Amino acid sequence: MALMTHTQPLPDEVDGVFVGGGHNSLVAAAYLARCGLDVLVLEANSTLGGGVTTEEITLPQFRHNLHAFFVRWTADYTIWNDLDLDRYGVQAIFPEVQNAVPFDGGQRALLNYRDIDRSVAAIAALSPADADTYRQVHAEFTEIVDRIEAPLRFAPPLAKDEFRERLARSGLGRRYLELADRSALDVINDTFSAEPLRALLAFNVAVRGYLPVIDEPGTGYCAVLALVNSHQGRMIRGGSYEMAKALYASGYDAGVRAVNNSRVASIEVSDGRAVAVETDDGRRVRARRFVASNVPADQTLLDMVEPSHLDDALVMALRNHRALEEGLFGVHFALGRPPRFTAAAEQPEILGSLNFALGYESHEDLLIDHRAIAERVVPDHTGLHSSFPTVNDPTQAPPGAHTTFAWQFVAAREPDGADRVWTQADNDRQVKAVIECYRRYAPDFEDCVLGVAAHSPTDTGAHLTSMPRGDRHHGSFHPDNWGADRPHRSVSDYRTPVDGLYLCGSSQHPGGSFTGNPGFNAAGAIADDLGLQVWWPRRDATAVLDALT
Ligand SMILES: Cc1cc2nc3c(=O)[nH]c(=O)nc-3n(C[C@H](O)[C@H](O)[C@H](O)COP(=O)(O)OP(=O)(O)OC[C@H]3O[C@@H](n4cnc5c(N)ncnc54)[C@H](O)[C@@H]3O)c2cc1C
């Protein structure tokens, strides 16, 4: 029967084609479809969402979030609101205990909470001076995030000089510059003295993808963001993939159509304009008005577009662009029951913490990873970024059972610059080290394990070709690859030298993570260029900065 085929037919032509069905494409497509455009998303894999995925890789019905898990989306997040995601059944869970950093070999833990008073009280047990500072700095940093950092993520980046000049006009802007010009590590270490607190904050910068640049001047803004966000972490009920489903459902209602198992091989350019895409099995779709790519800028422009359409300087810059030097080695566990943390004797609520830093008792522990990644070696030290999702959301495992995962910061490359390839033997070694690390803090951990699966940066890159070597942010967060320089001055406004060809993924400002910001901003650029009636509230970086006092 003709319909029994794995290759779905594609329409001959649409208004706009999205290359890749990561969450940023799903966001941009949903916004533009609501302007009346007929848009098509072509995804290479069999499911949409890219890094926003949940899979049963250990045992049946144990759901594992292989990539994005920690989110900051709330029902009042701009994109959630605009796309009316409540209607599509998605729910964010906001655990009361936000972070746990066991120390003293696991006898005690620094916990922090949604609630600032409780968090300050926990810090006071370590250092009364740090507790006072924390309260004051939290208020100051919250104002900076609310008035500067958060709104600027929803607008195309300003050129560096203009950005600085406008910030310098206000007191708050000057304070932001003073912090941002330092390194994230200096901001933390110069502000606080208690090691578990320094470790927590440096760790929460690092998990955003700042190893090995956490000590680079120009990353201080991330310490500000990380401190405030340390009280705002959420997870998605049922697993992160529910978010990909909701984004597509919202787009689908507005007319977005996606086709999976459709890898785009080339973007056709005619008279300097992107006019069509062709898949690797020879199917072609004409794009009447635009093509937008969720795939990193270097892959889009160097691999899919004929080089004669690009100038040499851009080609050179993209070839040499700064990739993320760090990958996350993931180990996912199915558990018959939760383990008993030693610290739970005094602090029973620890298990419900959304975010665990295990093996990071001082900021020096993190610096071991930092140095190893800079030197492109695997560290001797094992530290884990972990959570027990099922404690806050029992729907992610069979009744009474649990899951956990551990991500370890590892070098993405070998010392000679070659991609690091993780073999089965490497995976087995990592799994052993990870179990040992859990056992330091929860001695009965191994007794709880029913099943285990490793997911290395090599696996991430194989599953998502948009993340080679596990490059989850489609490029480094080095200050050279930030703002209007991300990924290169000439394409940082989501436009490319090819008319009608746009970049809407994490290689663009403000970079990777499950935020939807690059997709949101790219939708705005496309809508402006096509002269569409924009239905959603827009933000303009100059207006944000000019409103500062
Ligand atoms: C281990 C790990 C843990 C993470 N944890 C978190 C976390 O807790 N919180 C968080 O916010 N973020 C996290 N991230 C980062 C987050 O997953 C990514 O930054 C985000 O998913 C990137 O979204 P995107 O839409 O820009 O691109 P992607 O998710 O990379 O999507 C791109 C899509 O394009 C498709 N594609 C590629 N090439 C083609 C082609 N030629 N044709 C058609 N389709 C193509 C890919 O298959 C993919 O679906 C994590 C990532 C990893 C790897």
Three-state DSSP string of 11-72: CCEEEEEEECCEHHHHHHHHHHHCCCCCEEEECCCCCCECCCCCECCCCCCCCECCCCCCEC
379 CB within 6 A, ligand 1: no
State pLDDT tens for residues 335-346.
999 999 999 999
How far is the centre of ligand 1, averaged over its atoms, from the C-alpha of 467 (Å)?
7
**pLDDT confidence of residue 380:** 82
Bridge partner residues of 408 (DSSP): 329
Ligand 1: residue whose CA is nearest its atom 44: 20
Question: Is the overall model pTM greater than 0.85, yes or no?
Answer: yes
CA–chain centroid gap for 458, Å, is 18
How far is the centre of ligand 1, averaged over its atoms, from the C-alpha of 211 (Å)?
19
Ligand 1 mutation target, pool 514, 515, 517, most atoms within 8 A of CB: 514
Decide: 527 and 292 in contact? Cβ < 8 Å.
no
353 CB within 6 A, ligand 1: no
CATH numeric code, 13-52+71-88+237-321+476-546: 3.50.50.60
How far is the centre of ligand 1, averaged over its atoms, from the C-alpha of 22 (Å)?
6
Decide: 380 and 368 in contact? Cβ < 8 Å.
yes
Q: Sketch the domain layout of the chain as residue ranges.
A: 13-52+71-88+237-321+476-546
Work out which ligand 1 atom sits closest to the CA atom of 473. Answer: 19
Work out which ligand 1 atom sits closest to the CA atom of 70. Answer: 8
How far are the Cα atoms of 65, 93, 228, 305, 446 from residue 69, in angstroms, in the given order? 6, 11, 18, 33, 23
490 CB within 6 A, ligand 1: no
How far are the Cα atoms of 173, 361, 456, 472 from residue 430, in angstroms, in the given order? 44, 20, 9, 20
Phi-psi region of 325 (alpha: psi -120 to 50; beta: other; left: phi over 0): alpha
Work out which ligand 1 atom sits closest to the CA atom of 328. Answer: 1
**pLDDT confidence of residue 7:** 79
Which stretches of the chain drop beneath a pLDDT of 50? 1-2
70 CB within 6 A, ligand 1: yes
**pLDDT confidence of residue 1:** 44
How far is the centre of ligand 1, averaged over its atoms, from the C-alpha of 156 (Å)?
21
Place of tokens 């090599």: 458
Contacts of 271 (CB under 8 A, 6+ apart): none
472 CB within 6 A, ligand 1: yes
Decide: 541 and 484 in contact? Cβ < 8 Å.
no
Bridge partner residues of 41 (DSSP): 18, 258
Bridge partner residues of 93 (DSSP): 235
Ligand 1 mutation target, pool 294, 465, 502, most atoms within 8 A of CB: 294
Q: Which of 287, 210, 261 is nearest to 6 (CA)?
A: 261
Helix or strand or coil: residue 404?
A: strand
How far is the centre of ligand 1, averaged over its atoms, from the C-alpha of 471 (Å)?
9
How far is the centre of ligand 1, averaged over its atoms, from the C-alpha of 51 (Å)?
3
How far is the centre of ligand 1, averaged over its atoms, from the C-alpha of 349 (Å)?
32
Ligand 1: residue whose CA is nearest its atom 1: 67
How far is the centre of ligand 1, averaged over its atoms, from the C-alpha of 26 (Å)?
12
